[in-house]
Structure 1
């Protein structure tokens, strides 16, 4: 089953497209805020579908393909959850009404699937034609892992308001939402709503995430069918997961470090594989280098183990709890300072009260943990929010 027939490809794509269509028709088309029960049930269903598919791959494709699928699925699921952090920042900055957030998230999932599919088949073509691409992918992942550990810039903002100013300058836009519509009419003119702008921001981040995601999974398997299905099923149910763990996302403060370790591990694995299959003339005379290789069965427990340690440390560590509150406060202050999208006075006040609540929560934590959790410029950001509120803006 290493070579997947065209009918199997077509059935797989039809099933994935059907799931996305079902999600839109029965859950997203009618704007509403999902209940916790609804989000939990559908999250479990989508995870169950992914596991059932993996079992089928294991049974009909063999243990190797099964291990590769589950390794890829778990990796891509973890990276997808990391995507949710950025989605949350963008949605907060654009102040998307909660009932309309489902449409934004589903768009993000569909666009991510399309973007990653392009990268998947492009990556396969490169690997098949240029063996040295494994060196490039491996070194890129190692560089990405190191870069993730570097301090974030003070002015980093995934929902940069430059995009909004640019759109307002060259396009007809409005500061008001009209439900989940992308266009509306204002003073007799057809204008863009902030809903379209937030989708553009989500789409742009999806493309950036694909640069990390696809080389990483190709470090686990070069079977393009496994790469595609593991990626697709990891994105399925991400919308429901967002509403299920919305309040817990800030608690996964060490997920970044877990993903850093995993990307570094896979980067090393890719470099070792490249050395083992070496054809580059200036390395060992173009001959393979006798190094150890890390297979799918060794990779799976490493990935699961790192993620388990990361999640447990995030949830139970006192320092992790302080860091999660600092992160939430940083995001709340950033969202409050974004005034490009129109808000009612009541909404502005509620947003400010959220900042006060988070500041009060910090007082219950160890001061040393709180200070170590703050990035440079954190206090300045919060002070700007207080000053804006005091000025009546």
Structure 2
């Protein structure tokens, strides 16, 4: 049994295709197989060998090796969902009395987990900073800082490099949710982050057909501890899940390159549309995060948010009128998806917090897929013309 260990000089595209793959000399297979066995012959003398599928399996290990290679990390740990990765890492790093600094403008379930679940266990959670405002919230009592590379849904890009430096100065650990940016557009560990988390259900897998999560880090000791936490909490993906994510990762660079370009074009189209009030996309010069995005990111990803001219009912009407674009609450796949954050992804965020952040009822979030851009523009135009 041999896993492909990518040389340092391999570039991202080659790492995505070959890195971490399981290669079997007996069969000559070049595709990692799905090991469905729940149990394994007990590995005498090797406490880290395969024993039980809740611990690991060759398919899971191949996914972890590939994810680590792509994020330029020493280790990666695979999970059954992005939230399993976030919650498991948080519980491994924090204890009663610990302090977590995060932001209000993150994924709604992440916000809910931090501000309700963690607080109920005596963990101090400071979520008052947004974007570069996080810097002023970090102090000597801070244990963990959690930010998103590109926030959800207003696409704020925090100065991750500066936040990493501030964390280093006080001994805090920076965890970056890199789901929206992907490792194609940004590598948080390269600028000093302690860990990187992904909802692999989104861009990494890329086809809206599987759930999964990834945590990557250069701290091998913590990665081992996190695998033990996963063993106890049961958040490991099954082999079929892992296989789909492995397969999706092989085309990540091609998909993200197209989505970067298509999303920028659609952002400009929406900016000029008479039925659109405001567009949020970090690669537009008028976006408040444009200077940071230009400095840190290779591309701004495939998500564009925009406010329609009207109220929440008008936004929902537009969402219901699209034909090519699909109405649901996810992103990062080959199909373009439209979402109403106030009633979907951020409905668990208190209304006063949504108002403070600027998540208005007339806001829509668009995840650009791989369809023809002109078809998407025509679809959005006919939907917007209905209000």
- Larger Rg, first or second structure (1 or 2): 1
Same fold (TM over 0.5): no
Greater RCO, 1 or 2 (C-alpha within 8 Å, sep 6+) = 1
TM-score of the superposed pair, with normalisation by structure 1: 0.29
Q: Which has the higher helix share?
A: 1
TM-score by length of 2: 0.29
Higher strand share: 2
